Amino acid sequence: MKKIINKLEHNLGFKINKVELYNKAVTHKSADKNNNYEKLEFLGDRVLGLCISKTLLETFPDQKEGILDKKLASLVNKNKCYEIGKELQLDTLIKIGNLRLKKNIIEKKIISDSCEALIGAIYLDKGLDFVEKFILKNWDKHIYDKNINIIDAKTKLQEYSLKRFKLLPIYKFVSNTGPKHKPNFKVAVKLKDTDFVEADGSSKKLAQQAAATKLLNILENKNEIWGWRFFIKQK
């Protein structure tokens, strides 16, 4: 078990406190009927949904609920959790008692379930703020892609600025406050003919999106730009 925990710590990038939780998170019921990942998976699924929902609301504040719901589904489904689980190399750590399964590639569902269980373990071990940071780190690159293409505020502001001024928007970092486990970034953005507009976010990327959204709203209210809000293209 120590070898598995050491590798988990290396893959996750932090020190594990409650070892027994992580041991369960990588244990399939075929290996242990009583101490396996099933209950942690149940918890992790809810924690993941909460954190991703919060991030989507912060990232796309003007988006319709129906589109946010579809985006959420694309980010918390089994395929996505399998993808993240593979990136964390969970397939090399999961304990399985079924010899037939051991001889073959571990099926996607087991890796996906273990990934959700891992989130549940991190939540119980480190708390909500910590697990939210972990989720954002591993899901961040997936927020803007896959099944639903959303033109985000930063991209739209760039398109508008290039079309009107042939110049890119100017972003500047203002501050980073708050504790390490829950930072708050402040970023400002301006165009050629505007003042700087500031906004906050839990990461630089989210702060830039918030600042771009704020400036676009100002421009829209001045009737300088219209119909900028996100539109959807189904693949």
Q: Which residues are catalytic?
A: 45, 116
Please name the residue that has the structure tokens 């939780």: 21
Spatial neighbors of 6 by CB under 8 A, at least 6 apart, are none
3-class secondary structure, 135: helix
Q: Which helix (H) or strand (E) holds 157?
A: helix 153-165
Alpha helices in 166-223 (DSSP H): 204-221
- Chain centre to alpha carbon of residue 156: 22
Alpha-carbon gap, residue 134 to 75, rounded angstroms: 15
CB-hemisphere CA count at 13 Å for 112? 13
In DSSP notation, 60-92 reads -TTS-HHHHHHHHHHHHSHHHHHHHHHHTTGGG
* Residue ranges of E strands in the chain: 148-150, 170-177, 184-190, 197-201, 232-234
